[in-house]
Structure 1
Amino acid sequence: MWLLETTTLKPQLFLGDSTPYYAILSHTWGSHDKLQNLAGYVKIIRCCAEAASCGFKYAWVDACCIDKTNSAELSERATECYVYLVDATDPSGFGNNRWFTRGWTLQELLAPCSVIFFDSDWNEIGTKASQAEFICHNYVAQRMSWATRRETAREEDLAYCLLGIFDISMPMVYGEGRKAFRQLQLEIMKESTDQSLFAFSYRLNIGIRPIVCHLLAESPSLFRECGTIQAPGDGPAPEYSTTNKGLRIELPLAHCIGGFYSAFLNLTRKVCNIREL
């Protein structure tokens, strides 16, 4: 992967295990904020200066370093992340910035151990540690809920930007649309017995008549109200598996009107203040 030397701003190529520790700049592009413009160049300079002051010899900035033909590079993780919030001018509005609506920035928030936020004038206004009470990620549904209000340029990226968060590897096949999110859920099922994967809601006014819905969610938006979902106990969840005929799982049932049955997931909600990420 390509990295910038923080004192000379010269790019250097590293392969495999030779890649050193580095800092990353996470930001959103404005309508005219390109590399050749002053604002884009200032971001690179300030990021490298901040990284150098913290002892990093190298930094990664998408405008200079990203190789979109190399899918392996997209899974690399930085040691420290500097988040530049160009629209942060009022500290009381922290968390309502455009950066918090983008899909790929979610991975940049959660993956590095250290995340530092800067306002439009490059003043430090917070850290990942200072927001730790809002970053709970024990359950699948909770992590899915973080992506409910985030946007991506391509529909497939709503799934791909969650790969690192769930520690899942799968091919990135652009053009498959919402099938990518379905495949993500299938891959999660191979690695986890967490029943909260099925706790999403269609929020339909169905009255007393059951509506047949898909077992898997069509998009992360259906997990919007799942930020407080958790299992009631500390013990391991019962195992379930997928077969060529569907899902095999044991759940308690209740008889409903019209000969239908309802199955109950072993989940509950915790009472706490959850902030959307």
Structure 2
Amino acid sequence: MYYSGLIRLSRRDMWLLNTENDELVSVNNPRSVRYAALSHMWSKDPLVPELSFHDLRRIQEQVRAAREKDPTVPEDAVLARASPKICSACAYARDDGIGLLWADTCCIDKSSSAELGEAINSMYSWYSSSTVCYVFLHDVDG
């Protein structure tokens, strides 16, 4: 159904964040899995930067290395270092029984212009194929 690891994405593939173990996984047919999507404004606050694909990969590698030294590193160690927005979206998805999340900030490899172009062209399909779409309104109080 889905698999992890760095691979070249084709037009139908997308990266999703596993809300249970914080791993990025590649899904070759988004319509075949249940996932949540996050619709949001990107933060302009330098104190709360957006988590990029490469930031997430770097954090995942650091946590893996820490776990090799200390197996008691908690399951949510990656998300603990992510933005509150991503953490909250993952928590909402888990509460709704959805194990995967798509957020454009951390699920698109923007270093590859080809992948970025394919992702931009696929975004409507990805939002419409999601099981649920969470909307984060940074300027609205709870």
TM-score of the superposed pair, with normalisation by structure 1:
0.29
Structure-2 residue corresponding to 1:43: 85
Whole-Å separation in 2 of the counterparts to 1:31 and 1:40: 16
Structure-2 residue corresponding to 1:85: 137
| Matching of residue 34 in structure 1 with residue 34 in structure 2 | no
Structure-2 residue corresponding to 1:63: 105
1:32-51: CA deviation from partner (whole Å, max 9, x where unpaired) = 24225x99711111101110
User: Is the alpha carbon distance of 1:88 and 1:51 closer, same or farther for their aligned partners in structure 2, counting shifts above 3 Å?
Assistant: same
| Aligned CA-pair RMSD | 2.5
SS at match of 2:84: helix
Structure-1 residue corresponding to 2:67: none
User: Is the alpha carbon distance of 1:5 and 1:39 closer, same or farther for their aligned partners in structure 2, counting shifts above 3 Å?
Assistant: closer
Superposed displacement of residue 18, structure 1: 6.8
8 Å Cα contact 1:26/1:81 also seen in 2:
yes
Task: Calculate percent identity across the aligned residue pairs.
Answer: 33
Q: Where does structure 2 lack aligned partners over 5 or more consecutive residues?
A: 1-13, 52-79, 109-114
Tell me which of the two structures has the higher relative contact order, counting C-alpha pairs closer than 8 angstroms and 6 or more residues apart. 2
Whole-Å separation in 2 of the counterparts to 1:39 and 1:62: 18
8 Å Cα contact 2:17/2:25 also seen in 1:
yes
User: Is the alpha carbon distance of 1:40 and 1:34 closer, same or farther for their aligned partners in structure 2, counting shifts above 3 Å?
Assistant: farther
8 Å Cα contact 1:27/1:83 also seen in 2:
yes
Structure with bigger gyration radius: 1
Q: Where does structure 1 lack aligned partners over 5 or more consecutive residues?
A: 90-118, 120-277
Whole-Å separation in 2 of the counterparts to 1:13 and 1:57: 13
8 Å Cα contact 1:7/1:49 also seen in 2:
no
8 Å Cα contact 2:42/2:50 also seen in 1:
no
Q: Which has the higher helix share?
A: 2
Whole-Å separation in 1 of the counterparts to 2:103 and 2:90: 9
